[in-house]
Structure 1
């Protein structure tokens, strides 16, 4: 193990056990180097601004302030390609733009050789068939949820009747047939789900939407049981 990799590994070891300490003797045995080498590595880390300090005493050692550091996000080539394949499934959803920028960030954070290997691996992955044939989602709709901006929609209902509505965006509902914008409709004075393929035009206003709680029984979506997306199971 070269010195750079060893210093990285020392930081990750201290992060894993924080706030408990690791002694120089323990670290020397773990990385098969001398105690003096560990002390030089720790000194270099401290000079570089890594929040490592020595805790004196019989049970002391080196500690890392985990609250002041973030673990690096490193992806292997196969992990990056797996993420790319998964993100490909969001084409035509409100999150297609976010998926594209997320993948670019992942590749930018990777080492050059790993990024090159990821591109090489991706070139050997072949997908049969085209993505689901759904219209793209206007960026103004995707941004409205996080920005909490009132939207003015020109919308065509199921009978083909066009209306203009000011709505307070609340979220999205995905179904097997498409995506809906979930919003408080000021025209109907109720929560409504607007099919995105029926939105003729959407304009963000300067008005900030108030926070509203939404209950499942408030939703009028024509198919299936609703479930909320969970990032962690």
Structure 2
């Protein structure tokens, strides 16, 4: 069994018995590999976003959070590859890393033959031209709105003047060339938009800000049409 097949089989084995644990030794015997190989495979799955956690104790082992996993889905190989192509457009956005883990979760939940077909189709798909090198966004910024914590940032304006600010993250604005974090700036006591590549430092505080609503009309953007995103 190759590694791709084994990773898929590990997830299916733990999904079948969830929430009960499977020990590394049991899994190693089941798939005829070493315990160290199982531990590396589990680590790879965890890094790709599969919700596996370790349960300690004599009867412990690795558990899969069944409530946060998907049953086999009817995503076609072509749909999976279409999503992979679309992800290439997300470089430099707050959602690139999360989109990658979401795609891996979906592929892991596909029917096994379809997942293999998607992998084969992806290997036959090529993109022409130079790849644009876009600065990555720090994880603290990418998770800022969902985390709902006050951020302390260093920010350089267009004149290269630097300030330290505490902001309450409210949302994001994306353009073809840049991404911005929208937040309530405590230094200015007003709504402000911060270009992510001008944020020079970021730290997450323990403070939970009061709830604020971000409306389209609050974004005083003098150019272009503002469109609100929907996942439905």
Q: TM-score, normalised by structure 2?
A: 0.66
Greater Cα shift, 77-86 or 168-177: 77-86
Kept in 1, the 8 Å contact 2:72–2:111? The answer is no
| Structure 2 stretches lacking a partner, 5+ long | 1-69
SS at match of 1:208: coil
- 2:104 and 2:73 mapped to 1: Cα distance? 14
CA deviation after TM superposition for structure 1 residue 72, in Å: 5.2
Equivalent in the alignment of 1:57 = none
| Cα separation, partners in 2 of 1:197 and 1:229, compared to 1, 3 Å | same
SS at match of 1:127: coil
| Structure 1 stretches lacking a partner, 5+ long | 1-69
Kept in 1, the 8 Å contact 2:171–2:214? The answer is no
- 1:169 and 1:221 mapped to 2: Cα distance? 18
CA deviation after TM superposition for structure 1 residue 220, in Å: 4.2
- 2:189 and 2:116 mapped to 1: Cα distance? 54
Kept in 2, the 8 Å contact 1:193–1:220? The answer is no
Equivalent in the alignment of 1:194 = 194
- 1:222 and 1:169 mapped to 2: Cα distance? 22
Equivalent in the alignment of 2:13 = none
Q: TM-score, normalised by structure 1?
A: 0.65
| Cα separation, partners in 2 of 1:98 and 1:122, compared to 1, 3 Å | same
Runs (4+) of structure 1 exceeding 4 A deviation are: none
Structure 1 residue 104 corresponds to structure 2 residue 104: yes
Matches within 5 A, 1:34-113: 73-113=73-113
Structure 1 residue 208 corresponds to structure 2 residue 208: yes
- Count of residues paired in the alignment: 163
Equivalent in the alignment of 1:225 = 225
Equivalent in the alignment of 2:138 = 138
- 1:107 and 1:188 mapped to 2: Cα distance? 45
